Amino acid sequence: MQARSPTTAPGGGGRLSVLQRHLTAVPLSGQVSSATYAPNFCYTLDNDLLTTEQRQFYEENGFLVIKNLVSHKDIDKFREVFERVCKKELTAPGMVVMRDVAIAKSEFVPDQKAITKVQDFQELPELFEYCSLPQIVQYVKCFTGPNIMSMHTMLINKPPDAGKKTSRHPMHQDLHYFPFRPADRIVCAWTAMERIDRSNGCLVVLPGTHTGELKQHDYPEWEGGVNKMYHGVRDYDPSLPRVHLTMEKGDTVFFHPILIHGSGMNRTAGFRKAISCHYASSDCYYIDVKGTTQENIEKEVIELALKRYGVEEILLKDAWMAKGRLVQGERINL
């Protein structure tokens, strides 16, 4: 079992306790107004951007959708850059261009049809621009505080399913991949680059699960195959209440790294696009994942680093130290 993060209120765990903490909140002065209330928020920081209702929603659900946050102009620009990456006209150190497992062994076609996602574009200025957009960063700060690092960058190009359901992303918690804490100072921004709904494989979230523990993850037992490192929560219970996030182009969801989420298969002929960045406070610290549920992902990353780059004797945290990039403030621990 993973230890709870220090910023999480003691006795936490379960949506009920979060609700109870709200209900027992005491006003600072005699006046009962939302501004003077001091509820025990722990997943958001004091800020002058989020309304009390928005903070409360994130505290209880572990995600928050902000409509129309990124302009269509910016998104169209990112789309063009992505197309140039697919054609190999643009590249950057560390960037990983990944094909879907269903077509991994088929003949190489140098366009987006082959590409399921581009990861680690932090050294490609034309895409990293997304991570620095002021309107995104101002929200990120409400979760991380002022010293902000981008830790993981991704442009997901979910392909039309090849018939084996490999375009799905199993239910998971992003914290499984992160050897740093506290979890509450990490947040993902995920922006729809077009309308995304159930037909093309929208995000599916289990509201409130961010108050739970980090769970054991393995490859799901899917007949059609699973993409490299797409681990899912072990013993996923499909009867838990799910929410399908339908989003329009430019809408952005911010979510907690313990929130259980995934995405469905793409039943359309188009490539469903989203761009995302995981941010963390640079005050976060690295942990040793040995003896924890994260040992299996560390093992895979070490094997990949050896195979791809011939790097020996690395730890999960070394990979992350190399990927992390300051967005705002001061680089402290990460």
Ligand X SMILES: Nc1ncnc2c1ncn2[C@@H]1O[C@H](COP(=O)(O)OP(=O)(O)OP(=O)(O)O)[C@@H](O)[C@H]1O
Ligand Y SMILES: CCCCCCCCCCCCCCCCC(=O)SCCNC(=O)CCNC(=O)[C@H](O)C(C)(C)COP(=O)(O)OP(=O)(O)OC[C@H]1O[C@@H](n2cnc3c(N)ncnc32)[C@H](O)[C@@H]1OP(=O)(O)O
Report the site for Mg ion in 258-317 (rule: CB under 5 A). Answer: 264
Residue 274 binds which of Fe ion, ligand AKG, Mg ion, none (CB < 5-8 A, kind-dependent) = ligand AKG
Residue 231: both structure tokens together: 């681990």
Question: Smaller CB distance to ligand AKG: residue 253 or 289?
Answer: 253
**Helices and strands of the chain, counted as H and E runs:** 7, 16
* By CB under 6 A, residue 100 contacts ligand AKG: no
Report the site for ligand AKG in 264-303 (rule: CB under 6 A). Answer: 274
Q: What are phi and psi for residue 205, nearest 5 degrees? A: -120, 150
* By CB under 6 A, residue 214 contacts ligand Y: no
**What distance in Å separates the CA atoms of residue 61 and residue 166, rounded to the nearest whole number?**
28
Amino acid at 92: A
**What distance in Å separates the CA atoms of residue 219 and residue 185, rounded to the nearest whole number?**
27
Q: Count residues binding Mg ion (CB under 5 A).
A: 1
Q: According to CB under 6 A, which one of 25, 28, 96, 332 is a site residue for ligand Y?
A: 96
Strands 186-192 and 272-281: antiparallel
Q: How far is the CB of 230 from ligand AKG (least distance, A)?
A: 8
Left (φ > 0), alpha (ψ -120 to 50) or beta: where does 277 sit? beta
Q: How far is the CB of 117 from ligand X (least distance, A)?
A: 15
Residue 243 binds which of ligand AKG, ligand Y, Mg ion, none (CB < 5-8 A, kind-dependent) = none
DSSP state of 161: P
* By CB under 5 A, residue 174 contacts Fe ion: yes
Q: According to CB under 6 A, which one of 210, 217, 261, 317 is a site residue for ligand AKG?
A: 261
C-alpha distances out from residue 265 to 56, 103, 141, 158, 273, Å: 31, 15, 32, 8, 13
Contact residues toward Mg ion (CB under 5 A) are: 264
Contact residues toward ligand AKG (CB under 6 A) are: 154, 156, 158, 169, 174, 261, 263, 274
